[in-house]
Amino acid sequence: MIYLRLFWEFFKTGLFAVGGGMATLPFLYDISARTGWFTAAQLADMIAVSESTPGPIGVNMATYVGFTTAGIPGAVIATLGLAAPEVIIILIIARVLAAFRQNRYVDAAFYGLRPCSLGLIAAAGALVVKIAMLHPERYASTGVLTDLVDWKAVLLAAVLLVFTRAVKQTKKLHPIFFILASALVGVVFSF
Amino acid sequence: MKPLLELFLAFARVGVMTFGGGYAMLPILEREIVENKGWATREELMDYYAVGQCTPGVIAVNTATFVGYRTAGILGGVFATLGVVFPSVVIITLIAGVLTNFADIPAVKSAFAGIRVCVCVLIFNAVVKLWKGAVPDKAALILCLLVFVLSVFLDISPIVFVLFCAGAGILFTRMGVRGK
């Protein structure tokens, strides 16, 4: 029963992903590794689409993964699965909002959860780096260390880093501009 | 029925106008929920955001549930949440359907190979942005590095890390190593 499993996987994601949209990423990689419903490379593409379309990233990712796994019903079920635990939790704490925010155990738990979430996102990012910029299979066949790295991709990443972080005129631009520019570079230089 | 429909539509508008989620959504929520509808004050909205930061899940969904519940009870929370996710489901389903048909074209493959490089940079930038709020002291730095290294090299469910770090946060606070 793929729909039930899909709902359950996303219910867990919604329950344990702390700190907004990108925090769902490590959970989605975990789902990909365990179920084989979609590949890690597909997931990287989904991030780009989710960033470039309206709607919160976390929700977009859930819809996309659900659709890839089980069509339109899958898209709806994955999204509802993601939202369900959040709705339940908020409905419970809405009555005791002030007490919840000031509770020292909640505060202490989140002191530990924030760096955890960051570490998980960074690890998911490392996996995307491996997919986008390394060629382990080419290195395995030639044995030349410089064949491990996709130099075109590294150069593009360096240029993007400069434009998104250092150049004053471009660093405030929406990610969609950089995504489209990268797509163009990919086509022109046949990545 | 009318307030429920109104909640659904108002949050569907928020969903359509949000690119990226999280803090990108705040000005749109302010205009739609505070100024147009008067469902919450600006201060309440900031409170909902703060709670969204310390509850699991996507902040957009948390905020929608909160405002909906305060406006029209439990059903209100459900309808506002359905509203905020509705545009995503429609738009992403359309795009995913189209992209699936074109995924094997060489030019599309090259385009996505370029895009993946961009995604690396976007994730890196997100990590840098979250760093200051998430890693205030040495103990948090150790937790963050530990999770990163173990998560890269071992096949452990993220749920295990989340539960472990919630416990570690409480333990560190009680031991008094927090803030050092």
Higher pLDDT, B52 or B37: B37
**Helix, strand, coil abundance in chain A, percent, nearest 5:** 85, 5, 15
Residues A126 and A182 reside in one and the same domain: no
Judge whether residue B168 has pLDDT over 90: yes
Q: Does B75 touch chain A (CB under 8 A)?
A: no
A119-133 pLDDT per residue, tens:
988 998 898 898 889
Residues A155 and A175 reside in one and the same domain: yes
Residues A35 and A124 reside in one and the same domain: yes
B102-145 pLDDT per residue, tens:
878 899 889 989 988 998 998 898 889 889 888 999 999 999 99
Residues A95 and A23 reside in one and the same domain: yes
Residues A179 and A125 reside in one and the same domain: no
Structural domain boundaries in chain B = 2-102, 104-133, 135-180
Nearest to A128 among B19, B107, B120 (CB): B120
Residue B23: the pLDDT is 65
A53-69 pLDDT per residue, tens:
888 888 999 999 999 99
Residue to test with chain B: of A9, A35, A52, A90, most B Cβ within 10 A: A90
Q: Does B180 touch chain A (CB under 8 A)?
A: no
| Chain A hits for B121, Cβ within 8 Å | 157, 160-161, 164, 178
Alpha-carbon distance of A74 to A67, in angstroms, equals 5
Among A133, A151, A175, which residue terminates a domain?
A: A133
Among A133, A155, A175, which residue terminates a domain?
A: A133
Distance from CA of A19 to the nearest CA of B (A): 6
Judge whether residue B1 has pLDDT over 70: no
Residues A60 and A99 reside in one and the same domain: yes
Check if the beta carbon of residue A84 is closer than 8 Å to that of residue A59. no
Residue identified by tokens 């996102």 is A121
Residues A106 and A169 reside in one and the same domain: no
Residues A150 and A106 reside in one and the same domain: no
Domain count for chain A, please give it.
2
Q: Given pLDDT bands bounded at 50, 70 and 90, which one contains residue B22?
A: low
Which ipTM score applies to this complex? Answer: 0.85
Among A133, A149, A179, which residue terminates a domain?
A: A133
The phi, psi pair for A171, rounded to 5°, reads: -70, -20
The verdict on a CB contact (< 8 Å) between B147 and A124 is: no
Which structure tokens are listed for A139?
């290195």
The verdict on a CB contact (< 8 Å) between A94 and B125 is: no
Residues A41 and A119 reside in one and the same domain: yes
Rounded to an integer, the average pLDDT of A163-173 is: 89
- Helices within chain B (DSSP H only): 2-17, 26-29, 42-53, 59-102, 106-134, 138-153, 158-175
Q: Which residues of B23-37 are buried (b: 16+ CB within 10 A; e: fewer)?
A: ebbeebbeebbbeee
Within 110-169 of B, beta carbons closer than 8 Å to A belong to 110-128, 130-131, 133-135, 140-141, 143-148, 151-152, 155, 157-159, 161-162, 164-169
Q: Does B26 touch chain A (CB under 8 A)?
A: no
Q: Given pLDDT bands bounded at 50, 70 and 90, which one contains residue B161?
A: very high
Determine the angle formed by the axes of helices A40-52 and A175-188, rounding to 10 degrees.
130
Domain carrying residue A23: 2-133
The verdict on a CB contact (< 8 Å) between A56 and B15 is: yes
Residues A145 and A171 reside in one and the same domain: yes
Residues A19 and A49 reside in one and the same domain: yes
Residues A157 and A114 reside in one and the same domain: no
Q: Given pLDDT bands bounded at 50, 70 and 90, which one contains residue B54?
A: confident
